Amino acid sequence: MEKQHYTGLIDRYRDFLPIAPDTPAITLCEGDTPLIELKRLPREWGTDCRILAKFEGLNPTGSFKDRGMTVAVTRASEEGSRAIICASTGNTSASAAAYATRAGMECFVLIPEGNVALGKLAQAIMHGATILQIKGNFDDGMRLVREVGEEMPVAIVNSINPYRLQGQKTIAYETVGALGDAPDYHCLPVGNAGNISAHWIGYSELAGLESSVTETCESSLASCSIDVPKQVDKRPVMVGYQASGSAPFLRGEWVEKPETRATAIRIGHPQSWDYAWMAHRESGGWFDECTDEEILDMQRQLASREGVFCEPASAVSVAGVMRDIRSGKIENGSVVVCTLTGHGLKDPSVVEDVKLESVEPTLANIKDVIGSKLGV
């Protein structure tokens, strides 16, 4: 019997995406990522909340960006664009470069000098993107991309492109598919704020409820009429966590010189500012911030105690959840989903301080180490 293999999220969710039935998908089989239940950390915190990690690091280029990129690049290709462009803290550029290659398009990426993790840079280089490293930050790059989009024949694939959010809303679809319901809380890192907005679009559609984000986003999509059958009765509370040095949602205004070791979310001028506030208001959620120390500590705990290696920016979601569970803001017994947005392998610099010592290759040396570790 012929087995149907998974061919990506456009094929799976085409009826719920602004993609015509006969449009060929530009895909790398993104999506369908695991929802991994955390076991040891919740027990250590003494909570009976169920905490599940939607591990987006297992997408083809190692982050959730692939979900948005397959839709944005499929549309750009259909519309006859020869080239795409984005500003990026790294992951968007890696994803754009890969999907442009799939589509046979040119890809231009603007990245902030000195603040992109090595793995992400390697991806953009290997996929053949033209890299414009700027003496500025992500926000400067974003401003330039908006300007150049007006003057040159390039399609912008940052999340100001509404097709990106349409693709990323499938995180909510898959979460509901796996749980059979919406979680009580959905927690995630917030940088440019497209992803929290996209999650909210997805959850609102599945609950058959109006959301200002969906309305505004759909009104900017030409010929998009999507009728998603109602599947759940509730939407989650949306919680967005930021790094303390880059926390415009906590300050209530844009931050001019964002700083954080979690470079993926080193953003001071979030483009989806209004959408994220809508999701915050309509879901009854909140924003909070974690220090770089808390973020890196949680990244290490997830890797060493749960076996899940995510990048620093992703870990902010679980660092924030730990605090909110301990304070009782998230009640005992809740079902909490955290989006772990990117893979830890992207940023090997987190272990640069670890110095490995070499030993002579003798059996005695190896037995010594194992013996002392195991106490035998």
- Spell out the residues 6+ positions from residue 263 whose beta carbon is closer than 8 angstroms to its own: 89, 90, 115, 116, 117, 312, 313, 347
Window of 13-21, 186-194, 244-252, 351-359 that interacts with ligand F0G by CB under 6 A: 186-194
Q: Does 264 bind ligand F0G (CB under 6 A)?
A: yes
The residue with tokens 């205004």 is 253
Nearest to 61 by CA among 349, 341, 350: 341
Nearer to ligand F0G (CB atom), residue 47 or residue 278: 278
Q: How far apart are the first and last CA of the chain?
A: 53
Which two three-digit tokens encode residue 238? 């949306």
State the binding string over 280-319 for ligand F0G (x if CB under 6 A, else -).
-------------------------------x-xx-----
Joined together, the tokens standing for residue 261 give 């070791």
Torsion of CA 288, 341, 169, 317, to 10 degrees: -20
Say if residues 226 and 200 touch (Cβ distance below 8 Å).
no
Element (H or E) spanning 35, and its range?
Answer: strand 35-37
Interface region with ligand F0G, contact rule CB under 6 A, candidates 40-48, 89-97, 147-155, 246-254 = 89-97
Q: Which position among 47, 61, 77, 88 is part of the footprint of ligand F0G (CB under 6 A)?
A: 88
Tokens 């010189």, residue? 257
- Single out the residue of 300, 275, 281, 271 nearest to residue 192, CA to CA: 271
# residues near ligand F0G by CB under 6 A: 22
Closer residue to ligand F0G in complex, CB, 75/343: 343
Given 77, 81, 195, 242, the residue binding ligand F0G (CB under 6 A):
195
Contact characters 117-156, ligand F0G, x per CB under 6 A: ----------------------------------------
Least distance from C-beta 59 to ligand F0G, angstroms? 11
Contact positions toward ligand F0G, by CB under 6 A? 63, 65, 88-92, 159, 189-195, 264-265, 311, 313-314, 341-342
